[in-house]
Structures are given as structure tokens and as C-alpha cells.
């Protein structure tokens, strides 16, 4: 299997979740081994995708430095992960990605419009060779060795609509599109009111998130999946794992995981070379993993 970039440049305009302002997003092809590179067009600032670039994880995954940042990259990166794209320039003209409908499906459609171009170099993946876990109280995220790629997530919210939910996702591009990509982010009305008083979440609406009060869902159309909440957590996890710069061969397991725990996990993983091996897909024994990108 070869490295992938997009076949042609594409762009779209959407609203930023926190500032509520229009953001232009443009995707451009890059050469082999260039990686995923974010670019703030308004600041002429390039930000390489790496855990070292992460500067905030409180409400979303944010990359940047003292010169500028880009927020809420995880939904977009989940689509990049699912499509197996290795090299691409991601250009925005503001400090956050457009939120679109609060899921990753719009980014999938954008990548479909761009098309996929295979490149000369072999695709490399990050193979987990030793279990790595980050735990805070009862919450944990874990990567463990496996010849398949799975995401196993459990949540437990003290809310009558959410409660306990579990989902196990066996990774494939088609599976992501059908089972995960349309799951939207969610928020509670009382939290949104506070955030907006702090000039945050100004772009949040029922068109780009699932809204909940203390008892019910506020969206008149209801849910897209019965367990949409935990499916979105898996979406977030795929995006946060993509911050490593690679697709991952291994099992991801989480209970009440978060952007912060995911960041700590990728950082701990890459901090010790005994935890992983970077290998070409051709060298792996798992033929099914290569087929998952079909």
C-alpha cells in the first residue's frame, strides 16, 4: 500500500464553533513524507501535526505555538485518519477549523470531492508493540498490541438520555463513513450559556451539535444513532490519535476518555521507542489492515 495525498485542491467555508465567524478551509496535496501540515493563512504560520504542537485540550484539541494556534482539529483529523491520508496541507484563515454539522461527515465529503492520489513511497503505520495506558481516577485510555485496529469506548454520564453507553468499532474506511462519521458533538444548555458569556461557543447551534437540557435532547430531529454520544467519542479518539501523524495498528480502549487523556496517551506512546514500531503496511502480517483502507 502506498502513501496517499489528495488528487486536487478543494476548499469550503464554514462557521467556527467558538468565535462564530466564517472560516475558509482549503486542502492542498503534498509530496511523499511531508506529513499533515496545518497553515494559518492570516498569519503565514505553518504548524506541523505532532503531539509536540498540542497546546490546549480543555475543550478541543488545539495545536500551535506562541505565534498562533488552530483549534478543534479533531473532527477533521478523524476523516483524514479514516481515509488513510499521509500528506496534505490544511489551510485556514482563522484560529479554528469550521465545525460544519458537528460531525466528520462534511470532511469526508470534502475528501471525496478532492479524490485520493496514491504516491510512490510505501505507507507507514505506527504498530503498538507494548501496552501504554494513561489513567486518572476511574478514567483511562489505553493502546495495546494487536493485529487489527479497534476502538473500544465506554462512557457514563449522569443524564437520563445518555447514561452508560459502549461501542466497539473495528476500523475501516467504509465502516467509519457508515458507523462513526455522522455522530455529532454534544453539549449541555447550561454549559453553553456559561461558555457564551465567556465569548466561547458563540457558533454553537442545534445545527452543529446535539443540545441537551437536564432532561431531554433539544434537537427536534432527534439522534442519528441510538448511541450517538459514544460514537462521537470514538470519532474524537480517531482524530486525536491522528495527531501522532500515523494510522495506528493496535487496540484503543477507553473509559470516559477525553482530549487531554488522548494527548497524554500519544505523548507517552512516542516517548519510548519500545512502545511502537513504524513499519510499512507491506511488511505487516495483517493483510486485513491494508484492506480496511479500500
Q: 171 — phi, psi (to 5°)?
A: -65, 135
Question: CB-based burial of residue 20 (10 Å sphere; 0-12 exposed, 13-18 middle, 19+ buried)?
Answer: middle
Question: CB-based burial of residue 171 (10 Å sphere; 0-12 exposed, 13-18 middle, 19+ buried)?
Answer: buried
Q: What is each CA distance from 277 to 64, 143, 146, 207, in whole angstroms?
A: 27, 13, 12, 41
193 Cβ contact partners less than 8 Å away, ≥ 6 residues apart: none
Please pick, among 18, 75, 232, 259, the residue that the annotation labels catalytic.
Answer: 259
Strands 150-157 and 251-255: parallel
Report the distance separating Cα 262 and Cα 211, nearest Å.
Answer: 24
Rg of the chain over all Cα atoms, to the nearest angstrom: 18
Asked if 18 contacts 201 with a C-beta cutoff of 8 angstroms, the reply is yes
> If we measure between CA atoms, which residue out of 227, 33, 15, 179 comes closest to residue 119?
33
75 catalytic, yes or no? no
Sign of torsion over alpha carbons 281, 54, 10, 182: positive
Q: 55 — phi, psi (to 5°)?
A: -120, -10
Report the distance separating Cα 85 and Cα 126, nearest Å.
Answer: 14
Q: Which residues form the catalytic set? A: 259
Amino acid at each position: 500500500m502506498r502513501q496517499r495525498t489528495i488528487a486536487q485542491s478543494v476548499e469550503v467555508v464554514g462557521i467556527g464553533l467558538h468565535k462564530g465567524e466564517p472560516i475558509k478551509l482549503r486542502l492542498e496535496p503534498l509530496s511523499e513524507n511531508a506529513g499533515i501540515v496545518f497553515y494559518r493563512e492570516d498569519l503565514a504560520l505553518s504548524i506541523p501535526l505532532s503531539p509536540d504542537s498540542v497546546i490546549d485540550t480543555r475543550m478541543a484539541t488545539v495545536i500551535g505555538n506562541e505565534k498562533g494556534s488552530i483549534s478543534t482539529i479533531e473532527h477533521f483529523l478523524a476523516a483524514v485518519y479514516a481515509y488513510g491520508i499521509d500528506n496534505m496541507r490544511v489551510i485556514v484563515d482563522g484560529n479554528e477549523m469550521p465545525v460544519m454539522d458537528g460531525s466528520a461527515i462534511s470532511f469526508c465529503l470534502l475528501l471525496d470531492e478532492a479524490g485520493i492520489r496514491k504516491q510512490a513511497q510505501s505507507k507507514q503505520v505506527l504498530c503498538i508493540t507494548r501496552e501504554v495506558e494513561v489513567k486518572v481516577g476511574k478514567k483511562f485510555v489505553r493502546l495495546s498490541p494487536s493485529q487489527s485496529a479497534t476502538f473500544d469506548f465506554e462512557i457514563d454520564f449522569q443524564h437520563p438520555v445518555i447514561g452508560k453507553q459502549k461501542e466497539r468499532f473495528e476500523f475501516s474506511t467504509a465502516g467509519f463513513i457508515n458507523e462513526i462519521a455522522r455522530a455529532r458533538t454534544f453539549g449541555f444548555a447550561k454549559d453553553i450559556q456559561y461558555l457564551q458569556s465567556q465569548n466561547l461557543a458563540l457558533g454553537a447551534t442545534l445545527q452543529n451539535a446535539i443540545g441537551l437540557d437536564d432532561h431531554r435532547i433539544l434537537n427536534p430531529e432527534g439522534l442519528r444513532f441510538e448511541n450517538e454520544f459514544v460514537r462521537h467519542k470514538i470519532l474524537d479518539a480517531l482524530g486525536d490519535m491522528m495527531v501522532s501523524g500515523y494510522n495506528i495498528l493496535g487496540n484503543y480502549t477507553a473509559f470516559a476518555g477525553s482530549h487531554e487523556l488522548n494527548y497524554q496517551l500519544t505523548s507517552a506512546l512516542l516517548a519510548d521507542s519500545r512502545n511502537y514500531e513504524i513499519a510499512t503496511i507491506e511488511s505487516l502480517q495483517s493483510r486485513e489492515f491494508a484492506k480496511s483502507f479500500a
